[in-house]
Structure 1
């Protein structure tokens, strides 16, 4: 049963987990999503005694903890629930970046494969995905260590690589994206994954990755948050509901 505090936000976060899995960004039991609550707490996707993976997340899998991973309200971790081992990945971003409210960590095969193949996330697309173009144009850095971000020292290293950017690729590991909202952080992860998939396809076909020309970049309109976020999010929820089998592999 969904806990009393923040039921709508818990539902939003469980939706986010299922969207990520349906898109093939979080196969199996890997990946997690968090949302800042006040100055010293966060809602985060936790693991329980009957772990089923992100594709089967419900609001009951979302728990309120403090920045050290302790329960931030009565009963939050009762019954064998534990925050993810990589909780510091989330908490250090929230500590350092006041502009960030939501953090997504996933293991997209295409993103990992593209990075290991030497293919950076670049603005190779235009109207195909305008928010994705803008994200790539500003650069998606790489954290070059394939480690589990299980403590503050490693999370600080990852944050140093992330800097003020919205996303960072974790070499041989996965992807971390950020946003003002859960929806924005998830949609950014999808955009990075889309560019990685296209880059791999182009390379497999013998093509050369080429950034969109400046003239084309200048003519790309900002379609606004209503279209880029609200409409796109509604599509993802509908897609998730109608496509229960997530994709896997690059």
Structure 2
């Protein structure tokens, strides 16, 4: 019989959302095996985060019970929250972003292989596409900074270095490591990471085919409409959940 205490239930919907987001991240290939984690701020001192449990099976098998409430120093956020569980080693990566960025509620950390490969090859994330991925293009056009240290971000000092490199941008690449994506919502943090991964994949394919990366002209960038959160986030997120569960529409005839 398990001796692990159950998580408190008052944040059940948020736990389910984070668990879903972890599975989406794994399903998209942005975090393999047991790597990666997502957090969500709940108040000034506490956050929900994917923790390491006694039956660890990896990101793609995350359940709501794996999402535990902790404080900014890594202690339990409520009675029984960490019984049998441990926060990720890189919890400071999450907490320092939340300490320094009041505009952020959700923090994601992943290890997308193509993102790492593109950066190590000297290929920056740039707005090379247009209507192919409008949110991704706008994100890239604003700049995607790189934190040049390939370290495990396991203490506040290292995390502060990453936050400084990140500045006020929503995504920062971690050289020889992965990326961190920060947003107002869990869904947006995941969709940002998916866009960055898509741009990295395209860039690698173009360069490997002998092509040259060219930024979208300013005139074309200005013509790209903002399709709104209802489409960019809500509909996109429903797609990710359907994709995760293998839901496919009727076959065209």
Does TM, normalized by the shorter one, top 0.5?
yes
| Aligned equivalent of 2:33 | 28
2:196 counterpart of 1:195 = no
| Aligned equivalent of 1:247 | none
CA contact (8 A) 2:106 2:189 kept: yes
Distance in structure 2 (CA, Å) of the matches to 1:150 and 1:99: 23
Runs of 4+ in 1 over 3 A off after TM superposition: none
Distance in structure 1 (CA, Å) of the matches to 2:125 and 2:7: 38
Distance in structure 2 (CA, Å) of the matches to 1:131 and 1:201: 21
| Root-mean-square deviation (Å) | 0.9
Distance in structure 2 (CA, Å) of the matches to 1:192 and 1:36: 23
CA contact (8 A) 2:15 2:67 kept: yes
SS in 2 for 1:129: helix
Distance in structure 2 (CA, Å) of the matches to 1:101 and 1:183: 11
Bigger radius of gyration among the two:
2
| Aligned equivalent of 2:49 | 44
Distance in structure 1 (CA, Å) of the matches to 2:107 and 2:209: 34
Higher relative contact order (CA 8 A, sep 6+): 1
Which of 76, 79, 95 matches 1:74? 79
| Aligned equivalent of 1:134 | 138
Which of 144, 155, 160 matches 2:159? 155
2:139 counterpart of 1:118 = no
TM-score (norm 1): 0.96
| Aligned equivalent of 2:62 | 57
| Aligned equivalent of 2:99 | 95
TM-score (norm 2): 0.94
CA contact (8 A) 2:7 2:80 kept: no
Work out the number of aligned pairs and report it: 242
Distance in structure 2 (CA, Å) of the matches to 1:95 and 1:125: 34
Q: Shift of residue 3 of structure 1?
A: 3.4
